[in-house]
Amino acid sequence: MAVAAARGAGPGGGGGARLIWAVSLLCVLLDLQLPGLLAAGQAEIENHLEMGRKLLAAGQLAEALSHYHSAVESDPKNYLTYYKRATIYLAMGKFRAALPDLSKAIELKPDFLAARLQRGNILLKQGHTQEARQDFEAVLRNDPGHKEAESQLARATELEVSMQEAQAAYRRKDYAGAIGILGHAIEISPWDPEAKELRAECHLHLGDPTKAILDLKPTTKLRSDNRAAFLKLSRLYYRLGEHEEALAQVRECLKLDQDDKACFSHYKQVKKLSKQLESAEEHVTAQRYEDAIEKYKAAMKTEPSVEVYTTKAKVRICHCLSKSKRPREAIDMCTEAHQRDPRNVFVLRDRAEAYILNEEFEKAVDDYQEAKEFDMENEELKEGLERAQKLLKQSKKRDYYKILGIRRNANKQEIIKAYRKLAQQWHPDNFQSDEEKKEAEKKFIDIAAAKEVLTDPEMRQKFDSGEDPLDPENQQGGGGHAHQWPFEFNPFGSGNFHFKFHFN
């Protein structure tokens, strides 16, 4: 009839007739093609759902999700495609993304119990007991004997009671009691930020910021804009001396709102301190110890109210002073650092090294032994203790530094200068009686030996590590032969006094 009407109008008629003819022809064509188009579209949807199912089974969640997106776009009225996409979101841990799909599936099919049960479970884990209760009750109205719905409904009541009891315990300052109750509540609703935030507050009141951090961290993901949690985390890390983590957390706050005044103010403080400490460590690595000390002093001025940074700075200044060969200053600073941090083995090690430089070997041994008790497996401490013990033993014998009257960090020029002065003083030619000459010869031999050892880098290193290279006991072969050192000594060009020295 439509074709006949179109033909009756005829293309040769007026404009209105031609329009009627074209519309009628289009309708005929659509009537002919629509079943085929619908069939092709449905086949494509089924293909996406099947591919999604296979990829889900293979654990390829992102790829499966892509196919479910396509299925939803192709057929936005199909409740099942929304439900299946929600299951993918849940498998990926994106429970917030799953909720709208479950709600859409329920909207399209109100008696779809699987979707209601799944949404109720999510709402319960989020701590939304009233909304969860509505879903579980809807399931039970349609299926009165549904075991899971009954169980979850009871858990919703448990959660409400637990939260009320925990809040009451918190108000009466029974923080330990509140923590115990909240533990059960969080088992039921692990995605509820309120329960974790309340438990974090309890931990802080009990003086345990580390546990508070563990509760607060997940809440930054459980709330869409949780700048308050990021700022609180940053401040907690800062108080613990973890300035790098403090900086990372406050930056997350500024990502959400770069104009947040509280976060920006805290960021400037943390950034300044972090920069000073990082710069100081770079100077230490490059062995620029004086520059490092200045940076650590600046850091203490930047943050004088948080003790952990003062302690950290003093510990590192102790290290720098010991490396700078300033033993007296190092001992004083290391002692102060040790009082602040008594179990810090690096402070004990650095003070021990300063004691060695100051020739207080017994104290060096004591420090290394104490450090070793805290860290029995530390090879550096073992070696340091052995060296300090050797130096202590050596100090009771012949000490070449004391013979020349110089410090252990004296350079070669200072050694030669001291040697020449003493050699001139104790040259046997300066004495008259045989007894005086004999005594001078002994002194002269010791002075010459000290110069020989301390101006030879290899022998000096051995001596500094606690071994006398001229001691017969240290000679290869068990010490059966005394070390002989023949030489002719006449530094001032006066006379022809020749010596052959034998070290026994």
pLDDT digits (tens, 9 = 90+) for 33-45: 444 434 556 777 7
* pLDDT at res. 501: 40
The answer to whether residue 5 scores a pLDDT higher than 70 is no
Read off φ and ψ for residue 487, nearest 5 degrees.
Answer: -160, 160
Q: Model pTM?
A: 0.69
Mean pLDDT score, 414-431: 90
Under CATH, which number does the domain 402-504 receive? 1.10.287.110
The answer to whether residue 30 scores a pLDDT higher than 60 is no
Domain ranges within the chain, ordered by starting residue: 1-30, 44-169, 306-396, 402-504
Q: Which amino acid is at 193?
A: P
- The band of 24, judged by pLDDT with boundaries at 50, 70 and 90, is low
Mean pLDDT score across all residues of the chain: 86
- The band of 139, judged by pLDDT with boundaries at 50, 70 and 90, is very high
Residue closest to 453 by CA, chosen among 497, 365, 383, 394: 394
Instruction: Tell me which of 407 and 220 has the higher pLDDT.
Output: 220
Residues of the chain with pLDDT > 90, as a percent, come to 63
* pLDDT at res. 37: 38
Query: Which two three-digit tokens encode residue 199?
Result: 């438990």
Mean pLDDT score, 398-413: 88
Read off φ and ψ for residue 156, nearest 5 degrees.
Answer: -65, -40
- The band of 402, judged by pLDDT with boundaries at 50, 70 and 90, is confident
- The band of 12, judged by pLDDT with boundaries at 50, 70 and 90, is very low
> 298-324: per-residue pLDDT in tens?
999 999 999 999 999 999 999 999 999
Which H or E run contains 285? helix 261-285
* CATH class given for the domain over 306-396: mainly alpha
Lowest mean pLDDT, pick from 100-109, 172-181, 191-200, 395-404? 395-404
* pLDDT at res. 374: 94
The answer to whether residue 264 scores a pLDDT higher than 70 is yes
* pLDDT at res. 481: 37
* CATH class given for the domain over 44-169: mainly alpha
User: CA-CA distance, 448 to 245, in Å (whole number)?
Assistant: 58
Residues of the chain with pLDDT > 70, as a percent, come to 86
* pLDDT at res. 72: 85
Same fold yes or no, 306-396 and 402-504:
no
The answer to whether residue 259 scores a pLDDT higher than 50 is yes
Lowest mean pLDDT, pick from 48-62, 156-170, 185-199, 302-316? 48-62
Residues 6 or more apart whose Cβ sits within 8 Å of residue 270: 234, 238, 243, 246, 247, 250
Which H or E run contains 486? strand 484-487
> 330-366: per-residue pLDDT in tens?
999 999 999 999 999 999 999 999 999 998 999 999 9
Mean pLDDT score, 190-212: 96
